[in-house]
């Protein structure tokens, strides 16, 4: 039997949902106590006096940021526990989530354009945050690059597969082109990987464990067939999900996978950065929760952009399926996240596709949120 929450309370300060409500019941420990009581692995009973149907609304107020797991003395993951509960208690909405995530990706930009057409005045309050998110799917016009990069020395003969993720594939193909350009500029041998499926992160949170197993197997098979190249990701959430694949791999292969799954920026070794003169004096950096303790982007961005200021808030609310299961709470978290930037911060960069979409949906007219790939260029191309 697994041992559960010790109720030490270390999770309260790191939980973005608690930060909004300041109520213990919304903290990870509050939700764990309910979820563990119905989870047989923790000695719970699914037929307890408070079954899933009763606790569902409260227990699923989780953005899946995993900050609580890092703070936990037992390293317990509340979002995993929630995923297990969802998996054991299927709900019709999960099929809708699966459909949105896996099947209709190519239609996301169209959804965004339709949302742009709706005048603000006619959007009912309950749909406001969903419409804002849909609008964020429509790309901002490109900006002049702030930094031109080139390698001091090229890396030759190293095979890399680019794992782009659904958002880039469906709504921001420009990021893929930029990432490929940088990797090629650095001399990496790019392996053709257009066939990668969704990383599975959102499917996991939705409790769609069968669907997760499907995409995971497909991605692993493609990696194996390609000769086990490095796997570069420019989305912290995708990288986080890929890291989780080791749970079903042999110890030896899992170790290799872990070594080879890397953030794109960590492959841009020994970069020479030249300011183009287009960078704003002050730039905000939103640190994606899913980088955990090893954010490869921040040190590089700091060295390229001297005016970079890290936001002080917690999760933007895009993680997990909160965006779909409780869009208003998710949007409140994004707004709280924006409050963590100084008022003079007009431009925010980050390294997670989901965070870009989420923060863009609440950015308003005066702020722009971009992936860092949008603001760099390869010097050779200029």
Partner 1 sequence: MAGEYLTSLTPEHKKFLEELFKDGVSFDPKVLRVYASDASLLTGTVLAMVRPQNAGQLCEFMRWADAERVAVHPRGRGTSLSGGCVPTVPGIVVSMLGMDKIIEISKEDFVAVVEPGVNTAQFQAACEKLGMFYPPDPASGKATSVGGNVITCAGGLRAVKYGVTRDYVLGVEAVLPGGELVKFGRRTHKDVIGLDLGRLFVGSEGTLGIITKLIVKLLPKPEASASVLVGYPSLDAALASMGKVFAAGILPCAVEFMNETVLEILTKTGEVPWPDSVKSLLLFQVDGSKDTVPLENARLARQLDDALWRMEGVGKEEEDKLWAYRRRVSAASYVLGPDRIGGDMAVPRGSILKAVRRFEEIAASNGKRLIGFGHAGDGNIHANLHYDASDPDDARRTQKTHHELDAAALEFGGSLSGEHGGGCLKDVGRQLGQKEHALMQRLRRVFDPNGILNPGKGY
Where along the sequence are the contacts to partner 1 (CB under 8 A)? 1, 3, 6-10, 12-13, 22-25, 27, 29-30, 33-34, 37, 49-50, 54-55, 58, 71, 73-75
Q: How far is CA 82 from the centre of its chain?
A: 18
**DSSP-based three-state secondary structure for 54:** helix
Cβ proximity to partner 1, 85 vs 148, nearer residue: 85
Query: Min. distance of Cβ 10 from partner 1 in angstroms?
Result: 5
Q: Minimum CB separation from partner 1 for residue 71, in Å?
A: 8
Which C-beta is closer to partner 1: that of 25 or that of 195? 25
Kindly tell me which of 54 and 144 has the beta carbon lying closer to partner 1: 54
Instruction: Give the Cβ contact number of residue 346 at 10 Å.
Output: 15
For CA atoms 160, 161, 167, 170, give the dihedral sign.
Answer: positive
Separation in Å, CA 27 to CA 31, 70, 145, 259:
6, 14, 41, 33
User: Taking the CA of residue 167 as centre, how many other CA atoms within 13 Å lie in the half-sphere pointing to its CB?
Assistant: 25
Closest CB 39 distance from partner 1, rounded Å: 14
In the complex, minimum distance from the CB of residue 186 to partner 1, in angstroms, rounded to a whole number: 31
- Strand order across the beta sheet in which 147-151 lies: 271-275, 147-151, 376-378
- If 0-12 CB within 10 Å is exposed, 13-18 middle and 19+ buried, where does residue 251 land? exposed
Alpha-carbon distance of 306 to 284, in angstroms, equals 11
CB of 8 to partner 1, least distance (A): 5
Kindly tell me which of 78 and 164 has the beta carbon lying closer to partner 1: 78
- Measured from the CB atom, the residue of 33 and 134 that comes closer to partner 1 is 33
Distance between CA atoms of residues 372 and 37, nearest Å = 43
Closer to partner 1 at the Cβ: 77 or 368?
Answer: 77
Minimum CB distance to partner 1 smaller for 98 or for 295: 295
Helix 236-243 vs helix 353-362: angle between axes, to the nearest 10 degrees?
Answer: 140
Distance from C-alpha of 319 to C-alpha of 179, rounded to nearest angstrom: 23
Q: How far apart are CA 83 and CA 93, in angstroms?
A: 14
Cβ at position 115, least distance to partner 1 in Å = 32
Instruction: Name the minimum Å distance from CB 234 to partner 1.
Output: 29
Which lies closer to partner 1 via its Cβ, residue 9 or residue 142?
Answer: 9
Contacts of 221 (CB under 8 A, 6+ apart): none
Least Å distance, CB 373 to partner 1, is 30
């Amino acid at each position: 039997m697994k041992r559960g929450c010790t109720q030490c309370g270390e999770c309260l300060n790191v939980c973005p949902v608690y930060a909004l409500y300041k109520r213990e019941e919304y903290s990870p420990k509050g939700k764990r106590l309910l979820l563990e009581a119905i989870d047989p692995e923790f000695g719970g009973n699914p037929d307890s006096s408070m079954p899933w149907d009763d606790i569902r609304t409260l227990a699923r107020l989780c953005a899946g940021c995993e900050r609580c797991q890092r703070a936990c003395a037992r390293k317990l993951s509340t979002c995993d526990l929630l995923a297990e509960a969802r998996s054991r208690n299927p709900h019709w909405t999960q099929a809708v989530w699966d459909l949105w995530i896996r099947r209709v990706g190519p239609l996301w930009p169209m959804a965004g354009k339709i949302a742009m057409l709706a005048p603000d005045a006619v959007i009912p309050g309950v749909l406001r945050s969903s419409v804002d998110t849909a609008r964020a799917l429509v790309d901002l016009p490109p900006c002049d690059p702030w930094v031109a990069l080139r390698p001091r020395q090229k890396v030759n003969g190293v095979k890399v597969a680019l794992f782009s993720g659904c958002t880039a594939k469906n709504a921001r193909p420009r990021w893929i082109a930029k990432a490929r350009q940088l990797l090629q500029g650095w001399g990496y041998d790019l392996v053709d990987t257009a066939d990668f499926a969704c990383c599975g992160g959102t499917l996991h949170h939705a409790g769609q464990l069968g669907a997760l197993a499907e995409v995971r197997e497909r991605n692993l098979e493609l990696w194996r067939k390609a000769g086990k190249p490095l796997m570069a990701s420019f989305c912290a959430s995708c990288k986080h999900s890929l890291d989780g694949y080791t749970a079903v791999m042999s110890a030896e292969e899992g170790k290799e996978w872990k070594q080879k799954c890397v953030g794109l920026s960590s492959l841009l070794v020994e970069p020479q950065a030249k300011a183009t003169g287009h960078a704003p004096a002050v730039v905000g950096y939103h640190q994606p929760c899913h980088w955990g303790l090893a954010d490869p982007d921040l040190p590089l961005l700091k060295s390229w952009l001297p005016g970079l200021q890290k936001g002080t808030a917690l999760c933007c609310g895009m993680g997990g399926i909160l965006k779909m299961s409780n869009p208003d709470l998710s949007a409140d978290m994004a707004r709280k996240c924006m409050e963590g930037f100084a008022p003079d911060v007009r431009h925010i960069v980050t390294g997670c596709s989901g965070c870009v979409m989420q923060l863009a949906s609440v950015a308003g007219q005066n702020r722009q949120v971009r992936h860092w790939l949008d603001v760099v260029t390869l010097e050779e191309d200029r």
